[in-house]
Structure 1
Amino acid sequence: MLKSSLLRTAALLPLLAAPACAADKDAEIGFIAFGDSGYHYGYMDPKEYKKPLKTLEEFTAAEKADAAEDYLPLESFQMPPAYFHPEIGGYVTASGQDAVARAMTAYCEKALCQFATLAGDNIYPDGATAGADGKDDGKRFEDIFAVPYADFGKDMPDFKIYAALGNHDWDTSREGAMAQVAYLEQSSKFYMDGIFYRVSPPATNGEVEIFVIDTDVMLAGLEVREAMLNPDGSEVKDTPVDQPDEWIKPANDAERNMAKWLEDAMASSTAKWKLVVAHHPLWSSAGGKFEQARVLRRVLLPTLCKYADAYLSGHEHSMEMHETSCAAATGNPDAQPLPEILSGAAAKQRPLNPNFMAYQEKTYPEYKPYYRRGMVWGFAHVSLKGDEAKVTVLTTPNDESGTPVEDFSWSFSNRP
């Protein structure tokens, strides 16, 4: 299944020194892709922990019960790292935010990292709340954005983290979501320009353009069914239609026409590399996101298959690399497929469902997975040079050491 250009390693590989940034069009461009990073112990939802899991045995039993409820085969079960939360008085799943932030910083000491992309769910569990949870959003932004990433990219001129919003960022209210956007818009480290925007990172000299869209708002304006699995991992058909909160639904013509904006913006771009960043993936492997993905493929693939060189997503707390056939979307059986970099493990871990994975591969011939790994913390590094992209998947151990470990690499060409 793997092309000859794909390599799988099990240990940390020697890292090559990054070449100096140059202005010629064949100079290397490098960046980090991460997502779902905002899990912080200071902002837990107390409603979820009314009965604290006071022992590791209780924590383990609860995790196994959740896995059984999701029809995960017992033989594939893995325990997540645990943390005893003193305020809750029990064990919770450990956060990898600080460890991943340190691992990204360490990796970028040797690899070229001129910018980063953040694929949403930047604040768990309910985004900024405008005080609804009794917490100050200013302090929340400092704890979740400023402190963990203070050293990340600090030695690279014009370094920015280009962010999208995810579903958790919208959980409380539109006011809360817009408060986060306002903070990131004025941040010296992060970048947003509304909930959808286009931007060319300065260090890329116009060779890269990023198109950020808000797939939570987009999906809220469309009919999306709830994702449910049968015990054998197959999809339950004709499930109820999901009912999004009113404040997430498109609020104006610009939001309602976001897909058309993306098409027009990408058509007008002169960049060599056109990258789309969004929260929701087109494919994933845990079994809980496939209905959203189905709708997004229908809406976005005609544009993505015509213009995009890669689609970067999160939402699933895993590390995955996929390709989607563009034959149906373009009417051309020889159309170049669309690569997807799913990097959603920057703070949380999620198990994959092998039965669902097998069902998905069998049912959807247009789908081609290259790499899928759950129950890890991780991120991706992307190197662009000439017409080739190389994606390196990195994990970091559960011991919270922040050591970057190269796990997989994948290469593809840009769209002609």
Structure 2
Amino acid sequence: MLHASAELQRFEHSSKSDGSLSFLVLGDWGRRGAYNQSEVAFQMGEVGEKLDIDFVVSTGDNFYDNGLTSHHDSAFEESFTNIYTAKSLQKQWYSVLGNHDYRGDAEAQLSPVLREIDRRWLCLRSFIVDSELAEIFFVDTTPFVEEYFSDSDGHSYDWRGIMPQKSYITNLLKDVELALRESTAKWKIVVGHHAIRSVGHHGDTQELIKQLLPILQANNVDFYMNGHDHCLEHISDTQSPIQFLTSGAGSKAWRGDLKKLNRGDLKFFYDGQGFMSVKLTQTDANIEFYDVSGKVLHRLTTSKQLYTSM
């Protein structure tokens, strides 16, 4: 029997000539411009220009409500190409699949046909973007969530390429662990659709806490970035330096829908639309969260020592 495998493909994306790297992070967005998607896209264009971004990261749920029907689905252009039109956003977009994407033809989003329609688009299940300064590990989190298999709530999911689920996840975790362990990048970032920690509607993802988090903690990961909850948030890990950053506010936001705000590890929560920017240098990471009018709501700055090699 053929076992599902999750070999991590690697894409080189070099840093700027000064050694820095900048990108935007957006999640849960594709609604043909509705629910302020177009307004968020406009502000992304402004910030993207100011930061001279190298690329955009999408944390999944790229097309609502049920992904794409095929690689000829007009929603691709109506929700992506025709919305993110700013000059600064004409860069590579690196995307993972979200649970809503799995409700459609998941493989359509992975298809090279879409890259012919819009060359910016690159979506794979799990892969690595390597800029030397930083390595970004994109992880396919939807297959971890048991509920989608046992209680699909009337939705059908496109599990082609995932079954058998257990061996898919085992292989994926092995690949992620090995890649993280071997990484010599100054910054290690992991991107998935589902939150590991969140105070939003969906809250923590127990399967990821159990299976993925220990690997991240053991391998000096700096940031875990996700969508899924339609909000912006920053939570610190209590057992490691990892910062959990949610950017799932690309269009429809869930006002007032949150679990509990009394967590000591919660640094920031916002229940409106917006996105996040990341600027990395050899010594510093500067991360900012913006609302729909481009206002900076929260800033996170982390510094690293410059170690000289003996």
Q: Which bracket does the TM-score occupy, shorter chain normalised?
A: 0.7 to 0.9
Q: Structure 2 residue aligned with 1:395, among 287, 291, 294?
A: 291
Instruction: Work out the CA distance in 2 between the residues paired with 1:349 and 1:271.
Output: 34
Report the equivalent of 2:252. 348
Cα 1:316–1:271, aligned 2, differ >3 Å: closer, same or farther? same
What secondary structure is seen at the aligned counterpart in 1 of 2:74?
helix
Query: What residue identity is the alignment partner of 1:345?
Result: A
Match of 2:88? 153
CA gap of 1:225–1:247, structure 2 versus 1, over 3 A, is closer
Query: Structure 2 CA distance, aligned partners of 1:380 and 1:145?
Result: 18
Alpha-carbon distance in structure 2 between the residues aligned to 1:218 and 1:287: 18
Q: Deviations over 1:75-132 (max 9, x none)?
A: xxxxxxxxxxxxxxxxxxx5221111111001122223111110000000000123xx
* Alpha-carbon distance between aligned partners in 1 of 2:148 and 2:300, rounded to the nearest angstrom: 33
Q: Which residue of 1 aligns with 2:141?
A: 215
Aligned partners of 2:102, 2:83: CA distance in 1, in Å? 22
TM-score normalised by L of structure 1: 0.62
How far 1:248 sits from its partner (Å)?
Answer: 3.2
- How far the C-alpha of 1:384 sits from its partner, in A, is 1.1
The 8 Å contact of residues 173 and 212 in structure 2, kept in 1 or not, is answered as yes
- Unaligned residue ranges in structure 1 (runs of 5+): 1-20, 42-93, 131-135, 227-240, 327-335, 362-366, 397-402
Matched, 1:309 2:222: yes
* 1:144 equivalent in alignment to 2:79: yes
**Identical counterparts, % of pairs:** 27
Match of 2:9 in 1: none
Matched, 1:177 2:106: yes
Q: Using the alignment, how far apart are the partners of 1:321 and 1:215 within structure 2? A: 19
The alignment partner of 1:275 has SS state of: strand
CA–CA distance in 1 between the matches of 2:252 and 2:63? Answer: 12
Distance 1:38 1:242 in 2: 25
**CA shift at 1:153, angstroms?**
2.8
Q: Which amino acid aligns with 1:274?
A: K
Contact 1:218/1:256 (8 A) holds in 2: no
Matched, 1:167 2:99: yes
After TM superposition, the score normalised by the length of structure 2 is 0.82
Alpha carbons of structure 1 residues 171 and 152: separation in structure 2 relative to 1, 3 Å: farther
Greater share of strand residues, 1 or 2? Answer: 2
Equivalent residue number for residue 212 of structure 2:
300
The answer for the alignment partner of 1:61 in structure 2 is none
Q: Structure 1 CA distance, aligned partners of 2:241 and 2:168?
A: 29
**Higher percent of residues as helix:** 1
Contact kept in structure 2, 1:34 and 1:119, CA below 8 Å = yes
Aligned to 2:274: 378
Kept in 1, the 8 Å contact 2:191–2:224? The answer is yes
| In 2, Cα distance between equivalents of 1:154 and 1:349 | 22
CA RMSD of aligned residues (A): 2.7
Match among 229, 236, 248 for residue 159 of structure 2: 248
Deviations 1:16-57 (A, max 9, x none): xxxxx7435xx332111110011227xxxxxxxxxxxxxxxx
Q: Does structure 2 retain, via aligned residues, the 8 Å contact 1:352–1:373? A: no
Q: Distance in 1 between matches of 2:103 and 2:151?
A: 15
Q: Does 1:277 find its partner at 2:191?
A: yes
Q: Provide the residue aligned with 1:196 in structure 2.
A: 126
How many angstroms apart in 1 are the aligned matches of 2:163 and 2:115? 20
Aligned residue among 15, 34, 44 for 2:26: 34
